[in-house]
C-alpha cells in the first residue's frame, strides 16, 4: 500500500499547550427586589425580553475580581421574572472558569457584595459570599427539588367580597394535596404530566373587601400562581375552588427556602 509506511512529514509537528487554573466556586445567597428582572438572560427567538438578569449582575463584578475568563451560574431553583426573591435569599454557586486570581480574602468578598449592590442599583443583593467546593453545585440542585419547602406571600383578588368565614377556611387548611397538570404558561417547555403537590400551610388576611394577603408554605415544585387561580381547572383544588369564586393573583414574593422536616425514624 502506498500509505504504509506513511510518507515522512513535510514540516515538523507543533504542539500548543495552554495552562489555566482549575475553576473556582463561590457560593452565597441572592435577594432580588425587582418584578421585571429574570434570574438568567431571557432570550426568545434571539431577542432579549428584559434588560439584564440576576446572573449578569453577579457575574460581571465577580469575573473582574477573580480575573476569570467566564462564569457559570447555578442556583437552588428559580423564581419567575415578576416574582421578588426576599427573605434570606436564594442559594447560588458561581463557577468561575480560568481564574487568574482565585484566592481572595474575606474583605474582598465583602467588597464584591457591595459592588454587586452598587452596580445593580440595589435591585440585587448578595450575602454569605465565600469559596465553596465544586461538589456544592450538586447539593444546590438537590436543594431545589421536592424534598424541600418554600414560603411565599401573595396578594390575591376575588370576584366577590371576602368574608371572615373565607379567611377562617383558608387558615384552617393544612397539608392540602393538589394535582397540578402542567400549567399552560410553561407547556411549551415542560412535559405534559399531572404532578402531585402539597400545600403545607396557609395564612390569610383580608386587606380590602375583595383583596387578601395569603402566606403559603408549599412543597418545592408547586406552581403557586396556578394554585391561586386554578389554571382553568388544571390545578385542583385551588384557592378559587375552595372559596367558590374566581380568584386571581396580583403579586407574588418568595420569602424563603428551607429543608422539609425528616419523617420519624428517617436518617442514619
Interstrand relation of 247-259 and 84-97 (parallel, antiparallel or unpaired): parallel
CB count in 10 Å sphere of residue 104? 19
Catalytic residue numbers read 80
> Which helix (H) or strand (E) segment is 107 a member of?
helix 106-119
Strand 148-158 to 211-219 pairing? antiparallel
> Sign of the CA dihedral 185, 189, 195, 198?
negative
How far is it, in rounded angstroms, from Cα 92 to Cα 76? 6
CA torsion sign for 123, 125, 131, 133 is negative
**Residue 150 in contact with residue 214, Cβ under 8 Å?**
no
Under 8 Å between Cβ of 94 and 72:
yes
Q: Which residues contact 243 (CB under 8 A, 6 or more apart)?
A: 158, 162, 166, 169, 170
Amino acid at each position: 500500500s502506498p500509505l504504509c509506511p506513511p510518507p515522512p512529514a513535510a514540516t515538523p509537528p507543533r504542539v500548543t499547550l495552554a495552562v489555566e487554573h482549575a475553576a473556582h466556586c463561590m457560593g452565597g445567597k441572592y435577594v432580588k427586589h425587582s418584578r421585571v428582572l429574570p434570574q438568567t438572560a431571557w432570550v426568545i427567538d434571539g431577542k432579549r425580553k428584559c434588560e439584564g438578569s440576576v446572573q449578569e449582575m453577579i457575574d460581571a463584578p465577580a469575573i473582574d475580581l477573580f480575573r476569570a475568563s467566564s462564569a457559570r451560574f447555578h442556583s437552588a431553583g428559580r423564581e419567575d421574572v415578576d416574582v421578588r426573591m426576599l427573605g434570606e435569599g436564594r442559594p447560588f454557586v458561581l463557577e468561575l472558569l480560568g481564574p487568574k486570581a482565585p484566592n481572595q480574602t474575606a474583605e474582598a468578598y465583602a467588597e464584591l457584595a457591595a459592588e454587586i449592590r452598587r452596580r445593580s442599583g440595589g435591585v440585587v443583593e448578595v450575602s454569605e459570599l465565600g469559596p465553596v467546593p465544586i461538589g456544592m453545585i450538586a447539593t444546590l440542585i438537590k436543594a431545589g427539588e421536592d424534598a424541600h419547602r418554600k414560603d411565599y406571600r401573595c396578594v390575591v383578588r376575588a370576584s366577590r367580597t371576602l368574608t371572615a368565614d373565607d379567611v377562617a377556611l383558608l387558615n384552617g387548611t393544612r397539608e392540602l394535596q393538589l394535582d397540578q397538570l402542567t400549567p399552560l404558561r410553561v407547556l411549551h417547555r415542560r412535559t405534559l404530566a399531572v404532578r402531585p403537590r402539597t400545600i403545607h400551610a396557609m395564612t390569610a388576611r383580608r386587606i380590602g373587601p375583595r383583596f387578601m394577603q395569603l402566606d403559603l408554605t408549599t412543597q418545592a415544585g408547586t406552581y403557586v400562581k396556578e394554585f391561586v387561580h386554578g389554571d382553568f381547572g388544571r390545578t385542583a383544588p385551588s384557592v378559587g375552588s375552595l372559596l367558590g369564586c374566581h380568584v386571581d393573583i396580583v403579586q407574588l414574593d418568595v420569602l424563603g427556602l428551607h429543608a422539609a422536616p425528616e419523617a420519624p425514624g428517617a436518617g442514619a
